[in-house]
Structure 1
Amino acid sequence: MALQCKIQTLQVVDTEYSADAVEWCPVEGWHNILVCGTYQLKKPDGKNPEESNKPHIRLGRLYLYHFEEQIFSPLTEIQRLETAAVLDIKWCHVPVAEHPLLAVANAKGAVEFCCLTGSEKNSCKFKPLCSVDLGDECLTLSLDWSTGRKQGGSPLQLVSSDSKGRLSLLSVDESSPSVHIMQQWKAHDFEAWIAAFDYWNTHVIYSGGDDSKLRGWDARVSPMAPVFTCERHSMGVCSIQCHPLRENLLATGSYDEHVLLWDTRNMKQSLADTHVQGGVWRLKWHPTQEHLLLAACMHNGFKILNCQGAMEENKERCPVLSSYVLHNSLAYGADWSRLTLKNPLVLSTEMPVVHEDEGATHVDLEVHNLKIVYESPTATFDVLLDEDQTPASPVQVEGSFDFQQPGPGGDGSNTKLAKAQRETSLLATCSFYDNVLHVWKWEISQTISSA
């Protein structure tokens, strides 16, 4: 039994500023909307001696895109908003006052909220709603909504972390909408890089900091004290995501280049430990294929991990199914789309694949029928292979994989499909110093050898 993986780059977009966050809209009916956040440090020009001592200015820009599946340029820019530098962006998973709602973490220590307005999906616009200031001279570093399982009915909340090591629990009034800080507390000694809800019990919040600590908190307990403190990561913890389809499962990543899976009922020992050869800035579970985990690995591109063995067979490592290394700089932003693609993967593209032999790692890069050219401050990337070149055979990864689809209630219960099933996913990734956003397809299929 073997898994075959293919990758096709659809579009490369110049974001002008350094790109560090990208999110597909999860709200039903708006899945073709993509937003990208940027962060640019502007130095004083140095011409005026009086300005040389001024602090650097952190500029940002928010891009709104519409995706339409076609061969050429499927991504169209709808709107751009000049703002303070953006460090994180997160869509609320359910509509608020009948509109998609986006939260933006910025370098001024605030969380800003924008809603999408307009009936035409390709002509919608952001409408700024409100903002909340988290305190003195800090950067807002991360955000997470309590709605990860896309279930309504509970009070709408948002958690944020900041450069002062604090967490802030925000309450959102859906009727106004308005936002206020419910609780704020010191969680880490240095930067609190990441905060995330337990989507199955939203009273529980997880956080990771530059002090190398992973902590859990119960918002019902006052004064705030951690439910647990884990020092399994050897460097700063900068990514956490609770699984929206599988209860008690948590993924964490760190500057130490390891992705850890946890059963939240036992935070003393991780379920699996995977070395991904790069600091793990973001982790995203696939919205429907519960075994797939996307990792943004900073200096080592983006990786798709198969966590099935760790979930079901007690395997201590999650194999890397595919690596995407067409970015020239720090891999920061990454997200899966919930769109159902109509067209199969057109190009026969084998790239990039990580082979691991006795601890040594190397990357094979072959791109067929595809030209990508862009320049960055660090290097120039140019790949061009003739269309009449013999297509590469699909990537083969030994193992098994259950293709799944959400149950009738959309509650994450899954039904096994035909064994020869093929699954195609749409992804967006962005990188920092080369100022680029990539949109790409990833296809996985399972074949069974005849006896």
Structure 2
Amino acid sequence: MAWRSRTRSLQVFDTELSADAVEWCPLPQWQNVLACGTYQLLKTPDGAGVGSSIPSRVGRIYLFQFRQEGPLCPPLTEVQRIDTPAILDIKWCHVPVSERPLLGMATATGELQLYKLIDTQEGSCGLKAVSSLELGPDRLALSLDWSTGRGDSSGMRVVSSDSAGCVNVLSVAEAGLTALSQWKAHDFEAWISAFSYWDTQLLYSGGDDCKLKGWDLRVGPSTPTFTSKRHSMGVCSIHSNPHREHILATGSYDEQVLLWDGRCLRQPLSESPLGGGVWRLKWHPTHEHLLLAACMHNDFHILHCQQALEGGGGACPVVASYILHNSLAYGADWSRLAPGGPPPSSPQERAAKAGTRTECGGHLRIQYESPTASFDTSLEDEAGRYIPENSPPLAAQPPTPAEDTPSLSCLLATCSFYDHMLHVWRWDWSPEEANVGGAEGGLREAGTGDQGEAGLSTDRRAAEQEEKSATHPAQ
């Protein structure tokens, strides 16, 4: 039985400042809450600020609620915006703290900031600052991760990496953040740090020195448990699989996604070329084989990793891509909400229902407009099967699920940098025969856009980063 994969944009929101981080709240009562972080390097007038070594960076955190109230109603409602220092990363704690959701934020002032989600008098919700801690002078906090990825609240900690190449471990309690340890982990920027969700005494870090390292908090940070140079460029994404013990995904400016077994880190389980530089990786919250990748210059892609995780080797196939963004693909996250109702019909299907004929000459052309640019994009052909020319080649034959596998519908949020856009979209994967009248048409991807130029490396590394053709919000 053939399966069909399709993506559909539900809403686009202009964040005004460059968007680089997005996170759905994982807690059951608040799973309709979405946060988006932004980062903006302020331009100084000609001649102003000459000789200043401290660039001005500002940010903003947006809070949204998602409600599905009908096909004509935008599902996202903005409920709050707070001006902040420039934001490099945001993560919700996976368990409540004092019975409330807690959002962590890594900022360009070198601080970790914690915000509590509270109820408002208007019957909505909002963020309230509860704690902050500076990691050190003259550095940017680049990433953070909670130790609570499998719902364990005991010994709750947060790890953060910074532009000085350090890894920082902090404890979290009702009184706020407390620094536990800090050590020099990488020669240049430590782009990413993450817990092993199965053994939270184990940490991983990746840096601009092209190294992936492991650390055991029980023996101290004097020597890493391992150092891998398997990535050929800076390591900027790490995520522990919360469903499969020992499984780790890493991404790099070298455009590769590597899957690892933590018990044997000499060689990765698989290597998947995605293009564009892999800035963020997110395992699906309930499906252990699905991995979402934000690929900077090459959009957003969903990988199916079952064969690799079962020892079959080979690259993981891309089962869906979302390419409607018009700039650098940075922030990406899965929602735990299930999209309500069937997927929206395609433009051709709506035209057919209205009794009109669409002259598409092979491809239906629609115009997508953003505040910064506009461009044409082909969404589908007459057979309802269009794979965009800008999507990466399939690394392997897409898997065919077992016959008793239910259809899958997922809600996702992604954001892009220079066009300062937040997109909410859905992905549907279902058997062909379940799609009555062809209404569930073929592999759907959305739009192509300009693949913006980099320019976000530190001055010391600027020349090298231009050669990498990969970008990051840390200038």
Residue matched to 2:384: 392
Residue matched to 2:144: 143
Give the residue type in structure 2 aligned to 1:111: L
Q: Distance in 1 between matches of 2:201 and 2:418?
A: 37
Counting matched residue pairs gives: 411
Matches within 5 A, 1:101-112: 101-112=102-113
SS of corresponding position for 1:375:
coil
Q: Work out the percentage of aligned pairs sharing the same amino acid.
A: 52
Residue matched to 2:426: 441
Q: Distance in 2 between matches of 1:282 and 1:445?
A: 26
Conserved 8 A contact 1:9-1:440: yes
Give the residue type in structure 2 aligned to 1:286: H
Residue matched to 1:77: 78
Of 3-12 and 389-398, deviating more is: 389-398
Give the residue type in structure 1 aligned to 2:277: G
- TM-fit CA distance, 1:380: 2.0
Q: 1:42 to 1:423 in 2, by over 3 A?
A: same
Conserved 8 A contact 1:7-1:349: no
Q: Deviations over 1:125-159 (max 9, x none)?
A: 1010010010010000000000001123x111000
Answering whether residue 414 of structure 2 is matched by residue 429 of structure 1, we say: yes
Conserved 8 A contact 1:34-1:64: yes
Give the residue type in structure 1 aligned to 2:384: A
Q: Deviations over 1:273-320 (max 9, x none)?
A: 000011000000011111110000000000100101111251221011
Residue matched to 1:411: none
Residue matched to 1:162: 162
Q: Distance in 2 between matches of 1:246 and 1:447?
A: 30
Q: 1:296 to 1:279 in 2, by over 3 A?
A: same
1:343 to 327, 341, 344: 341
Residue matched to 2:456: none
Matches within 5 A, 1:215-234: 215-234=213-232
Residue matched to 1:381: 375
Conserved 8 A contact 2:318-2:398: no
TM-score, normalized by length of structure 1? 0.86
Answering whether residue 24 of structure 2 is matched by residue 30 of structure 1, we say: no
Give the residue type in structure 2 aligned to 1:44: T
Q: Distance in 2 between matches of 1:19 and 1:227?
A: 35
Of 274-283 and 216-225, deviating more is: 216-225
Larger strand share, 1 or 2: 1
SS of corresponding position for 2:28:
coil
Q: Deviations over 1:147-200 (max 9, x none)?
A: 001123x11100000000000000001xx2311110100000000000000000
Q: Distance in 2 between matches of 1:366 and 1:263?
A: 44
Residue matched to 2:13: 13
Q: Distance in 1 between matches of 2:38 and 2:11?
A: 18
- TM-fit CA distance, 1:73: 1.1
1:318 to 310, 316, 319: 316
Q: Distance in 2 between matches of 1:206 and 1:229?
A: 10
Conserved 8 A contact 1:37-1:60: yes
Q: Distance in 1 between matches of 2:121 and 2:243?
A: 31
1:265 to 263, 266, 272: 263
2:368 to 364, 368, 372: 372
Task: Show structure 2 runs of 5+ residues with no match.
Answer: 349-361, 388-393, 435-475
Q: Deviations over 1:214-247 (max 9, x none)?
A: 0000011135310000000000000000000111
- TM-fit CA distance, 1:344: 1.8
Conserved 8 A contact 1:167-1:184: yes
Conserved 8 A contact 1:344-1:424: no
Q: Distance in 2 between matches of 1:425 and 1:121?
A: 30
Q: Distance in 2 between matches of 1:402 and 1:61?
A: 42
Task: Show structure 1 runs of 5+ residues with no match.
Answer: 351-364, 404-417
Residue matched to 2:60: 61
Give the residue type in structure 1 aligned to 2:64: Y
Q: Distance in 1 between matches of 2:347 and 2:237?
A: 30
Residue matched to 1:290: 288
TM-score, normalized by length of structure 2? 0.82
Q: Deviations over 1:247-273 (max 9, x none)?
A: 110000000000000011000010000
SS of corresponding position for 1:29:
helix
Q: Distance in 2 between matches of 1:136 and 1:280?
A: 28
Of 287-296 and 120-129, deviating more is: 120-129
Q: Distance in 2 between matches of 1:186 and 1:340?
A: 42
Give the residue type in structure 2 aligned to 1:254: S
Q: Distance in 2 between matches of 1:422 and 1:125?
A: 35
Larger helix share, 1 or 2: 2
Q: Distance in 2 between matches of 1:277 and 1:349?
A: 30
Residue matched to 1:128: 129
